[in-house]
Amino acid sequence: MTTPVRTDRPSSKQSWLARAAFAALVLAVVVLLIFAGLKTLTMLILGIGGVVVCVVAVYWFLTTRGFLRWISLAVAVLTPIVVLAFLIRERLLWVVLLSIGLFVIAGICARAALEGEEKELPVVERPAPPPAKPFFVMNPNSGGGKVEKFDLKRKAEERGATVVLLEGPEKIDVTALARQAVADGADLLGVAGGDGTQALVAAVAAEHDLPFLVVSAGTRNHFAADLGLDLDDPSRCLDALVDGVEVTVDLGNVGGRTFVNNASFGAYAEVVQSPEYRDAKTSTFLQKLPDLLAGRAGAVLTARSPSVSAVGPQAVLVSNGPYEMNDLAGLGHRPRLDRGTLGIVAISVGSARQAVGLLHRAHQRGLAQGTGFEVIIDADTDEIPVGVDGEALVMPTPVRCTVSPQALRVRVPRDRPGVRRPRHAWDLVRLRELAKFTKSGA
């Protein structure tokens, strides 16, 4: 696990960026007061009210059926149009856009100033000689046919790999395939496919202490993205076979099943279990969600960990490493995969008021998040559906989730795009100190 290193004495660049942030904030307020005048308060009320109305309307759209559902959808669509029409009529649209632009500039400057405050120690990379007998499992249907589009099979074989394609009407036991490859002398296991397939092969690689290679040929490529691999050209991942380095990452375990990204419980896991989901995802989701959110269907969950305790949440996500969660939109990115801990997010939204509360982190009573080495998910049923890296499974309760720190050796190209840095949260106190060139304690 790494430790953030803080620099107490700000650089001249940090100080000027902090000053620029405050200047942009002041200008944004001045623009509103000068050009909107007494209408500033009306604009703020209208803007905040519009957001609240939209959130409530979306919540009702997801939790109701029939006439009320479509009325809610109409309100959600019409509300921003009404706000926009008011601004245009009062000739204030340019004022709002200019103020928003200044707020954006302030945010960019503030984050740039604060990013110099803490720097994590880099991920340790070890030299890795080319494998003598690499083995790959490739799914030609994954990611819309990326295996064929990027000619991955041929390119891997040119680098000395044995490749097995997951094709044909019969279901192939990927775990058995990987274990047989190990028995035949494979010294590296790789996957070009979805995260679910990657997790199965990664478990075998970890079991035999073999390096594992990821090719970003899936649809969403969450694991590949958090490894800093090239998502636009999956064939570049194969460079690790000839010019690679090795990093070590954690693995999650849920009910005896390995996962590289996350295990989900609750509403989403219930919906994906439906036979209709594969052919009609959106309509199945909208049809089943009202009963799941209202507690009329599905199991009643309980989530327990050292940092989170939730009774009756509609959804629980346990991740292999905590996700970046400065806001809900941040879900889906992990800046590190070697922290040696699970991430836990439990959402309990039983009313429109709680849905509105999710807009502001300080009042997120319906959102519990934390970290831990173990998470226990229990329910009022003997078994519950679980989504494991996108795969729909059913497991007996209680379900135990754990983490295996630094369990997997991953081979990555020496030359790769790298992991996106996490966004810094605003710290106005520290930002003010930077702007004044003052010193602060550690």
pLDDT at position 117: 52
pLDDT at position 331: 54
Residue 217 sits in the same domain as residue 290: no
Does residue 194 have a pLDDT over 70?
A: yes
Domain count, the chain: 3
Final residue before a domain boundary, out of 115, 142, 161: 115
User: By CB neighbour count within 10 A (0-12 exposed, 13-18 middle, 19+ buried), where does 224 fall?
Assistant: buried
Does residue 399 have a pLDDT over 90?
A: yes
pLDDT at position 3: 41
Residues 6+ apart with CB under 8 A from 49: none
Does residue 2 have a pLDDT over 50?
A: no
Q: What is the pLDDT of residues 68-125, one digit of tens each?
A: 888 999 999 999 898 888 888 888 888 888 888 888 888 888 877 776 555 556 678 8
Residue 335 sits in the same domain as residue 392: yes
Q: What is the pLDDT of residues 28-38, one digit of tens each?
A: 888 877 877 76
Q: What is the pLDDT of residues 344-395, one digit of tens each?
A: 988 887 666 666 666 655 445 677 888 999 999 999 899 999 989 888 899 9
In a domain, 159, yes or no: yes
Which residue is associated with the tokens 């803490």? 118
Distance CA 261, CA 152 (A): 24
Residue 147 sits in the same domain as residue 174: yes
Residue 236 sits in the same domain as residue 263: no
Looking at the chain, the whole-number percentage of residues with pLDDT higher than 70 is 81
pTM, full prediction: 0.76
Terminal-to-terminal C-alpha distance of the chain? 20
* Domain encompassing residue 292: 257-404
* CATH code, domain carrying 176: 3.40.50.10330
Final residue before a domain boundary, out of 83, 115, 147: 115
In a domain, 2, yes or no: no
Residue 160 sits in the same domain as residue 206: yes
Residue 391 sits in the same domain as residue 272: yes
Cα angle 175, 179, 181; round to 5: 120
Residue 67 sits in the same domain as residue 86: yes
Q: What is the pLDDT of residues 111-167, one digit of tens each?
A: 777 765 555 566 788 999 999 999 999 999 888 899 999 999 999 999 999 999 998
